Chains A and B, each alone.
Chain A
Amino acid sequence: MMAGKNGKVKVAFFDFACCEGCQLTVIDSLQTHLDLLEAVEIVNFREASSEQRQDYQIAFIEGSITRKQDEERLRRIREQADILVALGACAHTAGINALKNLKPLDEVRRYVYGEHADWYDTYPARPVSAVVQVDAFIPGCPIDREEFVEVVKALLVGKKPPIPDYPVCVECKLKGNVCVFHVGKVCMGPVTRAGCGAICPTYGDGCEGCRGIIPNPNENAMEEVLDEAGLTLDEIMDRFTMFNAYRELEAEE
């Protein structure tokens, strides 16, 4: 990738339907990695800067696509960017936004905006990759600060970003955590992509699946485990849909 005259690669951040927590995590990564600014120049970051240039090479996209008008904006960004990165669960898998997709859209709009529902444009939440080609992704809700830094470093030297394909259980065992199933809790760790350091089980809660399902998961075995843990079918679906409703609905079709 061509660096600018100042020797820096130009990067930009954009957001769609999201909480902007991943961009905040990016800002927080500067607490420990202020030197990042020696390698990249941030030319567009609405949340943090009023400078808005369009000559970026790497675009980070936070958020899900939920409106026709979002698609046009996203395509313009895709045209400009050499590398487009889905930043966080909403962009990567449609994340929590896709819970909306489990209900009839019109009813959802009416519930929130009542008689004025027609004023507000929306369609079922989609990940960025459903609209444009995505070159790399950083999973999680929110993203992991260190993983973000590692991905940026890899992109700058033209390497494949180091995103694991193995499940959270691997990291959880390495940490020496007691399996949360053994203390009567429920966990999506066996089928969820690692890279978070098994942070939820480490803090006493089961994995919510925010980093997406690993390639080739053994879902039948997972359902058996959840069944053995005494979950009803509804409760098993809760676990599989909290962050992965978009995937579940796609699989049904």
Chain B
Amino acid sequence: MSGKKIEVHHVTRVEGHGNIVVDIKNGEIKECRFEVVEAPRFFEAFVRGRPYYELSHITSRICGICAVGHATTSLRATEKAFSVELSEQAWLLRKLNFHGEMIDSHVLHTYYLVAPDFFGVHSVIPLVETHREVVERALRIKKLSGDLCAMIGGRHTHPIALTVGGFTHTPTERELREIQERLIAARADMDVTVDLFATLPWPEFERETEYVSLHKDDEYAFIDGTIVTSDGFSYPIEDYKKVTNEHCVPFSTAKWTKHNRDSYMVGALARLNNNFDQLHPRAKEAAKKLGLKPLVTNPFLNTAAQVVEMVHCVEDSIRIIDELLTRGIKPEEPPVVEVKAGEGVGACEVPRGVLFHHYVYDEEGRCTEANCIIPTNQNMANLNADMQALVPQILDRPQEEIRHLLEMLVRAYDPCISCSTHFLTVEFV
């Protein structure tokens, strides 16, 4: 058999710059890897010296897709450092805002970035002509989730009103009722979405790995909780480094992580595997239609797990708004922050998996040490392991098909490469 060389520079329909490199000679794989070549931005280095109230506003700028996730995780780290307690209303709004971003990010990935592969087109744009109803549905869900985020934070990308201890702006009862009506109407779009994705021919590939996520006893965990793994480990959030064990690899500006095995997976599939029982009944129904029953070990199905989570987040958003309306929504001043020297770790399940922010503050409330560990990094080693397991199974296929399948695999992880290039080796003292 002749040699095959596949080099995809800057994989498309992903967030950020990554390359696929595969070199096969005489049926033997010489090279097979995913490289991250995004320009590093050094957030952890330059937030040092900045005042605590800026941190969530600066770090939200790590990512345009999961800005609410970074802001919320950042705020949790700061709130823990200064022992700030949130009101019940502030908690409900944080969760609602998080659901909005989860739906927004998942609809972007499932409809705009992944679906074109199954329709055999380059992007969602040609579908405007051929499958207008699909595009209009995607735009409708995207607008709803964006409007939900904007109602709370002022805008989705780089939220304004999220602040230490709560919010600087409160949605009105009328706004909540209007968005709830739209969420209820969106159930029909969710049903059609589940049916659409249930018909897609997912590539067949199984490779079990360790699945890592947050877990809470009383709900499907997105904000706070404990770190759990499918290999039976459990850690408090503050011990995150026992899970992540970061290390540098020469061809990547993103650091790699490993725990009990050589790699682990985070994201919608890991959450679904670890916390399936806590999904909303409608989301469980969706999982059944999509053929997802833990333990799911096909990484291509991460996209299907995102569809399940969209259904969950729509349903839980409807419930949270009910609760806010029953309690009566009212503007609240965030608590006065008593600045002191200290440190805190925030952890949230953002769309692509578990995210950690860890800060140390001095007595004036200026940041002295910072560490952010991003989901996409945690998935890098696992994605490479999947590529190395997949390529031998598809070696006999035409080069173009191998290339396309590998691009689809990368996309299934929904990598957020802009996010992934911020790391740190320094140990806190």
Which residue numbers of A lie inside 8 Å of B, CB to CB? 16-25, 27-28, 30-32, 34, 37, 42, 45-52, 63, 66-67, 70, 95-97, 99-100, 102-103, 107-109, 111-116, 119-120, 122, 141-142, 199-200, 202-205, 208, 235, 238, 242
CB atoms of B160 and A112 under 8 A apart: no
Residues from chain B with a CB closer than 8 A to the CB of A141 are: 61, 158
Given the interface pairs A18-B418, A21-B157, A235-B51, the reply to whether A103 lies near B13 with Cβ below 8 Å is: no
Q: Which one of B49, B63, B143, B426 lies within 8 Å of A31 (CB-CB)? A: B143
Give A99 to B124 CA distance when docked, in angstroms. 36
CB atoms of B128 and A112 under 8 A apart: no
CB atoms of B122 and A50 under 8 A apart: yes
> Which residue of chain B is the closest to A232 with respect to CB atoms?
B364
Residues from chain B with a CB closer than 8 A to the CB of A111 are: 42, 44-45, 48, 424, 426
CB atoms of B64 and A122 under 8 A apart: no
* B95, chain A: closest CB distance, angstroms: 19
CB atoms of B62 and A19 under 8 A apart: yes
Does B346 count as interface, using CB distance less than 8 angstroms? Answer: no
12 residue pairs of the A-B complex, CB under 8 angstroms, read A21-B158, A34-B139, A48-B112, A48-B123, A95-B61, A96-B58, A99-B50, A109-B42, A141-B158, A204-B168, A205-B161, A235-B51
CB atoms of B158 and A49 under 8 A apart: no
Residues from chain A with a CB closer than 8 A to the CB of B161 are: 203-205
* B122, chain A: closest CB distance, angstroms: 4
Residues from chain B with a CB closer than 8 A to the CB of A47 are: 12-15
* B101, chain A: closest CB distance, angstroms: 12
> Which residue of chain B is the closest to A20 with respect to CB atoms?
B64
Q: Which one of B160, B248, B418, B422 lies within 8 Å of A116 (CB-CB)? A: B248
Residues from chain A with a CB closer than 8 A to the CB of B65 are: 20-21, 24
B1-32, CB under 8 A of A: which get 1 and which 0?
Answer: 00000000010111110000000000000000
Residues from chain B with a CB closer than 8 A to the CB of A46 are: 10, 12-13
CB atoms of A108 and B46 under 8 A apart: yes
Does B337 count as interface, using CB distance less than 8 angstroms? Answer: no
CB atoms of B46 and A28 under 8 A apart: no
Please name 4 further chain A to chain B contacts, defined as beta carbons within 8 Å, in addition to the given A24-B157, A66-B39, sorted by A numbering. Answer: A24-B64, A28-B146, A66-B40, A142-B158
Interfacial residues of chain B within 244-281, with CB under 8 A of chain A in the complex: 248, 250, 253
Give A44 to B30 CA distance when docked, in angstroms. 32
Q: Which one of A16, A49, A100 lies within 8 Å of B13 (CB-CB)? A: A49
CB atoms of A50 and B13 under 8 A apart: yes
Does B57 count as interface, using CB distance less than 8 angstroms? Answer: yes
CB atoms of A112 and B154 under 8 A apart: no
> Which residue of chain B is the closest to A96 with respect to CB atoms?
B61
Given the interface pairs A108-B45, A116-B248, the reply to whether A238 lies near B39 with Cβ below 8 Å is: no
Residues from chain A with a CB closer than 8 A to the CB of B98 are: none
> Which residue of chain A is the closest to B124 with respect to CB atoms?
A48
Residues from chain A with a CB closer than 8 A to the CB of B160 are: 199-200, 203-205
* A38, chain B: closest CB distance, angstroms: 10
* A160, chain B: closest CB distance, angstroms: 27
Residues from chain B with a CB closer than 8 A to the CB of A115 are: 425
CB atoms of B50 and A122 under 8 A apart: no
CB atoms of A203 and B50 under 8 A apart: no
Does B359 count as interface, using CB distance less than 8 angstroms? Answer: no
CB atoms of B154 and A200 under 8 A apart: yes
Given the interface pairs A96-B58, A115-B425, A199-B154, the reply to whether A205 lies near B163 with Cβ below 8 Å is: yes
Given the interface pairs A47-B14, A49-B123, A235-B51, the reply to whether A203 lies near B42 with Cβ below 8 Å is: no
CB atoms of B57 and A208 under 8 A apart: yes
Does B423 count as interface, using CB distance less than 8 angstroms? Answer: yes
Residues from chain B with a CB closer than 8 A to the CB of A102 are: 46, 49
CB atoms of A42 and B125 under 8 A apart: yes
Nearest 9 Cβ contacts at the A-B interface = A21-B64, A204-B168, A114-B425, A49-B123, A203-B154, A51-B122, A50-B12, A99-B46, A108-B45
CB atoms of A20 and B54 under 8 A apart: no
CB atoms of A19 and B418 under 8 A apart: yes
Does B155 count as interface, using CB distance less than 8 angstroms? Answer: yes
* B168, chain A: closest CB distance, angstroms: 3
Does B301 count as interface, using CB distance less than 8 angstroms? Answer: no
CB atoms of B112 and A120 under 8 A apart: no
Does B169 count as interface, using CB distance less than 8 angstroms? Answer: yes
Residues from chain A with a CB closer than 8 A to the CB of B153 are: 203
Does B290 count as interface, using CB distance less than 8 angstroms? Answer: no
* B377, chain A: closest CB distance, angstroms: 12
Give A238 to B55 CA distance when docked, in angstroms. 12
> Which residue of chain A is the closest to B407 with respect to CB atoms?
A50
Residues from chain A with a CB closer than 8 A to the CB of B253 are: 120
Does B215 count as interface, using CB distance less than 8 angstroms? Answer: no
Residues from chain B with a CB closer than 8 A to the CB of A22 are: 64
Interfacial residues of chain B within 136-193, with CB under 8 A of chain A in the complex: 139, 142-143, 146, 153-155, 157-158, 160-161, 163, 167-169
Give A112 to B13 CA distance when docked, in angstroms. 28
Residues from chain B with a CB closer than 8 A to the CB of A18 are: 64, 418
Give A208 to B159 CA distance when docked, in angstroms. 12
CB atoms of A34 and B128 under 8 A apart: yes
CB atoms of B425 and A113 under 8 A apart: yes
Q: Which one of B14, B41, B49, B146 lies within 8 Å of A97 (CB-CB)? A: B41
Give A51 to B424 CA distance when docked, in angstroms. 35
Residues from chain A with a CB closer than 8 A to the CB of B50 are: 99, 238
Residues from chain A with a CB closer than 8 A to the CB of B142 are: 28, 31
> Which residue of chain B is the closest to A142 with respect to CB atoms?
B157
Q: Which one of A19, A23, A199, A200 lies within 8 Å of B63 (CB-CB)? A: A19
Does B113 count as interface, using CB distance less than 8 angstroms? Answer: yes
Give A24 to B38 CA distance when docked, in angstroms. 17
Residues from chain A with a CB closer than 8 A to the CB of B163 are: 205
Does B67 count as interface, using CB distance less than 8 angstroms? Answer: yes
Give A126 to B363 CA distance when docked, in angstroms. 33
Give A119 to B142 CA distance when docked, in angstroms. 39
CB atoms of B139 and A30 under 8 A apart: yes
Residues from chain B with a CB closer than 8 A to the CB of A19 are: 61-64, 67, 418-419
